[in-house]
């Protein structure tokens, strides 16, 4: 049987609330355990939305910050951060929000 994204999300949410192992939950609910395990594995592989980026900055400029705000998210970046790292932060925001 083929399940839509919404159906998979419903099964995964119900499984997470159950507190059971994925294999046990799948068997109890008539799902193919290997398939359900693959769904849960993909869930673990999704990015968390936050990526640590280490950057070499000029110590004299470390006191100043750039503030990036999007909805309820606030990111403080040191002014001396290089442009490549700033681009990585912004690209990460697209995934996270």
What are the residue boundaries of the structural domains of the chain, listed by start?
Answer: 5-45, 59-96
From first to last of its 97 residues, the chain has per-residue pLDDT tens of 788 888 988 998 899 899 999 899 999 999 999 999 888 887 666 555 666 666 665 555 556 777 777 677 778 887 777 888 888 877 776 665 5
Confidence (pLDDT) at 40:
84
Confidence (pLDDT) at 45:
62
What's this model's pTM, rounded to 2 decimal places?
A: 0.45
With CA atoms as reference, report the closest residue to 57 among 87, 88, 84, 82: 82
Q: Given CA atoms 59, 63, 64, 68 in this order, what sign does their dihedral have?
A: positive
Confidence (pLDDT) at 58:
58
Calpha distance 87→97 (Å, rounded): 16
Confidence (pLDDT) at 63:
60
Confidence (pLDDT) at 31:
93
Confidence (pLDDT) at 75:
80
């Amino acid at each position: 049987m083929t399940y839509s994204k919404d159906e998979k999300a419903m099964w995964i949410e119900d499984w997470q609330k159950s507190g059971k192992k994925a294999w046990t939950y799948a068997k109890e609910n008539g799902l193919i355990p290997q398939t359900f395990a693959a769904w849960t594995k993909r869930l673990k592989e999704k990015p968390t939305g936050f990526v640590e980026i280490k950057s070499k900055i000029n110590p004299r400029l470390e006191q100043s910050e750039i503030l990036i705000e999007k909805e309820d998210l606030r990111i403080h970046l040191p002014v001396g951060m290089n442009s490549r790292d700033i681009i990585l932060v912004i690209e990460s925001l697209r995934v996270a929000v």
